[in-house]
Amino acid sequence: MAPLARAWKYAVLGLTSIVFEETNPILGGIAARHGRAQLLAVIAAVAIGIWLASLALYWIGYSRINWVRRRWPDKEEPIETALRLVARHPWRASLAIRFAYGLRLPLPIACGAARVPLSLYGMASGISCLLWSIAFAYVGLAFGGAALRVLQVTRRLEVRLGLLALLLLIVLLFITRRRMAAPRESAGGEPS
């Protein structure tokens, strides 16, 4: 494979890691297991890509927190709580950005808004991104064979699994609609 094509593969892997989260390092680990990628390059690409995204979120918090508050006024209390926590524990908050499930976007924004020094945030978040990338790349490397065997089974059953997923989606939508209609009916409103 040409050097430019290899570089492009790793760049895309790193830059899309903020969207696809754990999927990218796991798939990179699987690719490394089968000789289609270099494990260290996968780890570096994912760590750098996710770190750059976290720096962008930090910048949003640092320079645009008032816009965030105006955009989501109902989130004022959680924002203030996050800012107080980050102000009390800047190192821990910066170090937790990749491992705080559910807070991966708000935590870097809160670190920026709380004016955590960029040097401290950059170092701690870099460590967090690197450790996270290593952990999930090795999950892909270690369990890639099992994952591919599961995919082989699902490929043979894909039509049946697709129909089952569609049926489950319809049932879930029906249940959700009934639960949302119940409070309106008890309040005297029209059910939808």
* Domain residue spans of the chain: 3-144, 157-192
Q: What is the predicted pLDDT for the residue at 58?
A: 95
pLDDT, tens digit, 9 for 90 and up, residues 2-35: 777 778 888 888 888 888 888 889 889 988 888 8
User: pLDDT grade, residue 95 (50/70/90)?
Assistant: very high
Q: What is the pTM of this model?
A: 0.70
Q: Is the pLDDT of residue 78 over 80?
A: no
Q: What is the predicted pLDDT for the residue at 91?
A: 94
Q: What is the predicted pLDDT for the residue at 85?
A: 86
Q: Is the pLDDT of residue 114 over 90?
A: yes
Cα gap 129→43, rounded to integer Å: 10
For the chain, the residue count is 192
Q: Which residues contact 95 (CB under 8 A, 6 or more apart)?
A: 124, 125, 127, 128
3-state helix, strand, coil in the chain (%, to 5): 85, 0, 15
Q: Which amino acid is at 109?
A: I
User: pLDDT grade, residue 190 (50/70/90)?
Assistant: low
